[in-house]
Amino acid sequence: MTFLAIKVPKNKAESVRKRAEQIGAKDKERLITVEGNYVVIPILEEFAEEFSEFEIIEQENPLFARKRRLGDILKGRIPQELYRHIPRAYKILGDVILVKLSDEISAHAKEIGEALLELHPNCKSVWRDMGKSGALRKPKLEFLAGDVNAKETIKLENGCFFKFDVTKVMFASGNQHEKMRVAKLIREGEVVVDMFAGIGYFSIPIAKHSKAEKIYAIEINPDSYFYLLENMKLNAIDNIIPILGDSKYVTPERVADRVIMGHINCHEFIDVAINALRDKGIIHYHEAVPLAVKNRPIERLKNAAKKLDREIKILDYKKVKNYSPGVVHVVVDAYVV
């Protein structure tokens, strides 16, 4: 789609605007803008010849009169009966877009990708998001539009930069507040262990926004570990100790005041987390839990503590976000003595 406009000197702008409106040439979806001594009047493509005495330009980033939606762009480009399957939500991670598509509309995936780039001209690529696979939560993506090499992006969240390759590493949304909540709980001089660090989802904001003495950040996936190191540099952080490996085996013992278990399926690691604490401390334990067994995370924590002859006091139990129908991602703050 090309966005044409007439570029007229200011002294002629009013009469040209009136003429464009009278003959129905003005594109009502775009706004008139000023560029130095010129006024840019958006027009519909089929009227360009009517204004051949003026300079006709192609607008790369037009200003729209109202926020356009994906559906507005796709009208006329896909069959009408599929309009209701147009995705209502998608993720923008830096300059990369990830979109989930239903099977009904998947034959038009390319058109949707192109429309998303039109809607977000600063973005470089669009990928179909087909979920995550395995314990490492590797993304399953299919390229849709833009530059196929534009896979690495930088997302700004909570005042921190996160660089990563969208085809190799996930970026969970919806737990932005949880990351800041934990960062704010940390007192000066604390030692923290982040057992499932990823690219630094928790460790980077903790390092940036708290006065923790040091943070051990453990990550098993070499791709995520690579970006953890990159993000430490990018955010000028020097108190994270990165460890590549399986936290089951490489978590340091009796060092921490606080342990973050930021993986939704990590109940088999609770004993490791308890052993990472000094004589007492706090564990932030995450779990995806079906509503029917809401108490399961607390029971799992208590059972693991009992086996190690330790006691647990539950400080908080919070929903982080909805995970799937009937299942919620929760976090339990547990004080272990």
Ligand X SMILES: C[S@@+](CC[C@H](N)C(=O)[O-])C[C@H]1O[C@@H](n2cnc3c(N)ncnc32)[C@H](O)[C@@H]1O
CB of 137 to ligand X, least distance (A): 5
**Torsion angle, CA of 101/106/110/112, rounded to 10 degrees?**
-40
* Cβ distance to ligand X smaller for residue 210 or 247: 247
Inter-residue contact 128 to 90 (CB < 8 Å): no
Q: Which of 180, 173, 199 is nearest to 92 (CA)?
A: 173
Cα separation, 162 vs 140, whole angstroms: 20
Q: Are the CB atoms for 73 and 62 separated by under 8 Å? A: no
Query: At closest approach, how far in Å is the CB of 77 from ligand X?
Result: 35
- Cβ–Cβ < 8 Å for 324, 265: no
- R_g over Cα of the chain: 26
CA distance 179 to 183: 6
In the complex, the smallest distance separating the C-beta of residue 43 from ligand X, rounded to whole angstroms, is 46
Residues forming the site for ligand X (CB under 6 A): 135-137, 172, 175, 196, 198, 201-202, 218-221, 224, 246-248, 262-263
Nearer to ligand X, 218 or 305 (CB): 218
Query: Between 218 and 334, whose beta carbon lies closer to ligand X?
Result: 218
Which CB sits closer to ligand X, 114 or 230? Answer: 230
From the CB of 195, what's the least distance to ligand X, in Å? Answer: 6
Minimum CB distance to ligand X, residue 165 (Å): 13
Q: Centre a 10 Å sphere on the Cβ of residue 31 and count the other Cβ atoms it contains.
A: 14
Residue 3 or 269 with smaller CB distance to ligand X: 269
